[in-house]
Amino acid sequence: MTTTAAPATAPFRFFDVHVVRALRVSTSVVRITFGGDRLDELASGGRDQRFKLFLPQPHQARPVFHDTGDGWYTAWRAQDPAERPVMRSYTIREQRHQPREFDVDFALHGAGHDGNPGGGPASRWAAAARPGGRLTVLAPAVEDNGGVDFRPPPGTDWILLTGDETALPAIAGILAWLSPGTRAKVWIEIAHEDDRQPLPTFADADITWLVRDGADAAHHGPDAASLGPVPAALRAAELPEGTPYSWIAGEAGTVKAVRRHLVRERGIDRRAVKFTGYWRRGATEEDLIAELTAGTAPASDED
Ligand SMILES: Cc1cc2nc3c(=O)[nH]c(=O)nc-3n(C[C@H](O)[C@H](O)[C@H](O)COP(=O)(O)OP(=O)(O)OC[C@H]3O[C@@H](n4cnc5c(N)ncnc54)[C@H](O)[C@@H]3O)c2cc1C
């Protein structure tokens, strides 16, 4: 099967992009296709390629930056919060070269979606996006870059993937990348039956879709029993023999429960479990950045 060397750290670059089209692919997902002048310089590494997007404030036509050079983060933090762009993490769902475009799948939440009055700036922006809308992205300029986490080491026998709608773009990219015949077991939590997507792959993939019955992911309570259907399904599953490499993403509490199960109850080597909380119930991305900055974020190797 395909394996890779250690993660590379490589340059990311700012790109000004515009919405080419917005397509509602399912009840919970809108696919935004972006175009831009310099997109020949953008190079997605595929798989779970992450990048940052910067949204204009509601009263702005485009994001306002004071500095997009090496000192951008300090300059961005120093900006008036009412003026500075809203920064969010997303995944490149697909990059195309003819024409030069890339797609991002936004999981919609809140803002009237599923009756939830909450929501966040990125979800609201995506739900209202129209051709011509402008934003800025910080995206990779070389394919082998540090924004790709899915890197199974040599000796991996099979792949385990779990996630929700926010991780579906990454899972699609990983499945598309796997070598023919690679064994993969996949659990994906979705809100609605129609949130299933075709996931083309040459891998020998066994994909289980777990529908939340229309309830928004944020409606789950804090107790372990209500972490969503993925931990329960995994607990009941028979796993293949051999050495797995696991990639887990989605809501942070669910990610933690899945990782604990794999490491503690299944005895899987923690170094072969790549896990990322893509969002946390009750916390905005600003809250998560503030925790990281203050050093109060939960330890990443805690299991
Ligand atoms: C590396 C990485 C890659 C990601 N890729 C994608 C991607 O390709 N597509 C995608 O849709 N998301 C992706 N996410 C998740 C996305 O960044 C978060 O969902 C983000 O919080 C959305 O921003 P927002 O402005 O809509 O909400 P925020 O302002 O950040 O949060 C507002 C409220 O909504 C809640 N919330 C946030 N997301 C959800 C959700 N999905 N369901 C229910 N409640 C939610 C928060 O807990 C908070 O209470 C990724 C995250 C990371 C770290």
Question: Are domains 12-140 and 158-294 of this chain identical in fold?
Answer: no
Q: Is the predicted pLDDT of residue 6 greater than 80, yes or no?
A: no
Q: What pLDDT, on a 0 to 100 scale, did the predictor assign at position 297?
A: 73
Confidence of residue 66 (pLDDT cuts 50, 70, 90): confident
Q: Which residue has the tokens 């809100």?
A: 191
- Looking from the CA of residue 50, the nearest atom of ligand 1 is 1
Whose tokens are 């996006």? That residue is 129
Mean pLDDT of 135-149: 95
State which of 94, 279, 281, 285 you would mutate to test the pocket of ligand 1, scoring each by most atoms of that ligand within 8 A of its C-beta. Answer: 279
**Closest listed residue to residue 10, CA positions, set 42, 57, 53:** 42
Ligand 1 nearest atom to the CA of residue 93, by list position: 8
The length of the chain is 303
What pLDDT score does 299 carry? 57
Specify the pLDDT at position 50.
Answer: 97
CA 142, CA 31: separation in Å to the nearest integer?
Answer: 24
Sheet holding 94-97, edge to edge: 86-91, 50-55, 134-140, 12-24, 29-35, 100-107, 94-97
Q: Note the pLDDT of residue 4.
A: 54
Residue 302 in this model has a pLDDT that exceeds 70: no
What is the structure's pLDDT at 7? 47
pLDDT of residue 215: 53
| Per-residue model confidence as pLDDT tens digits over 14-35 | 999 999 999 999 999 999 999 9
Residue 237 pLDDT > 80: yes
Provide the pLDDT for residue 3. Answer: 54
Q: How far is the CA of 37 from the centre of ligand 1 (A)?
A: 28
Does pLDDT of 298 surpass 80?
no
Q: Is pLDDT at 232 greater than 70 in this prediction?
A: yes
**138-149: average pLDDT:** 95
Ligand 1 center to 38 CA (angstroms): 27
pLDDT at residue 158, as a whole number: 98
- C-alpha separations of 285 from 53, 54, 88, 288, 291 in Å: 12, 12, 7, 5, 10
Residue nearest to ligand 1 atom 51, measured at CA: 278
How high is the pLDDT of residue 218? 45
Provide CB contacts within 8 A for 15, sequence distance 6+.
36, 38, 39, 41, 42, 136, 137, 138, 139
Model confidence pLDDT, tens digit, residues 194-219? 999 999 999 999 999 999 865 555 44
Q: Where are the alpha helices (DSSP H) in the chain?
A: 72-78, 121-128, 168-177, 229-236, 252-260, 285-294
* Ligand 1 center–CA 23 separation, angstroms: 19
Distance 147 CA to ligand 1 centre (A): 17
How many angstroms does the Cα of residue 179 sit away from the middle of ligand 1? 30
Give the Å distance between the CA of 184 and the centre of ligand 1. 26
Mean pLDDT of 74-81: 92
Lowest mean pLDDT among 152-161, 164-173, 279-288: 279-288
Distances (CA, A) of 63 to 101, 136, 245: 20, 7, 39
pLDDT of residue 228: 82
Query: Does the pLDDT at position 116 exceed 80?
Result: no
User: 166 alpha carbon to ligand 1 midpoint, in Å?
Assistant: 7
Residues linked to residue 196 through DSSP beta bridges, in sequence order: none
> What phi, psi does 159 have (nearest 5°)?
-115, 135
**Ramachandran region of residue 71, left (φ > 0), alpha (ψ -120 to 50) or beta?**
alpha
pLDDT of residue 303: 54
Among protein residues, the one with the nearest Cα to ligand 1's atom 31 is 284
Structure token digits, residue 126:
């995506």
136, 45, 12, 33: CA torsion to nearest 10: -10
Ligand 1 mean position, distance from CA 101 (Å)? 23
Partners of 211 in beta bridges? 190
Number of the ligand 1 atom closest to the C-alpha atom of 287: 30
Rounded mean pLDDT, 34-45: 96
* Mean per-residue pLDDT of the chain: 89
Question: Domain 12-140 falls in which CATH fold?
Answer: Elongation Factor Tu (Ef-tu); domain 3 (2.40.30)
pLDDT higher than 60, residue 5: no
Q: Pick the residue whose CA is nearest to atom 17 on ligand 1.
A: 89
Which pLDDT tens digit goes with each residue over 164-195? 999 999 999 999 999 999 999 999 999 999 99
User: What atom in ligand 1 is closest to the CA of residue 280?
Assistant: 47
d(Cα 63, Cα 116) in Å, to the nearest integer? 27
Q: Which CATH class is domain 158-294?
A: alpha beta
pLDDT at 131 over 50: yes
Domain ranges of the chain: 12-140, 158-294
Task: Give the span between the Cα atoms of 215 and 229, in whole angstroms.
Answer: 12
d(CA 63, CA 60): 7
| Number of Cα atoms under 13 Å in the Cβ half of residue 222 | 4
Pocket of ligand 1 (CB under 6 A): 50, 88-91, 105-107, 109-110, 118, 120-123, 166, 169, 216-218, 276, 278-285
Torsion of CA 148, 150, 153, 158, to 10 degrees: -160
Report yes or no: 142 and 242 within 8 Å, Cβ to Cβ: no
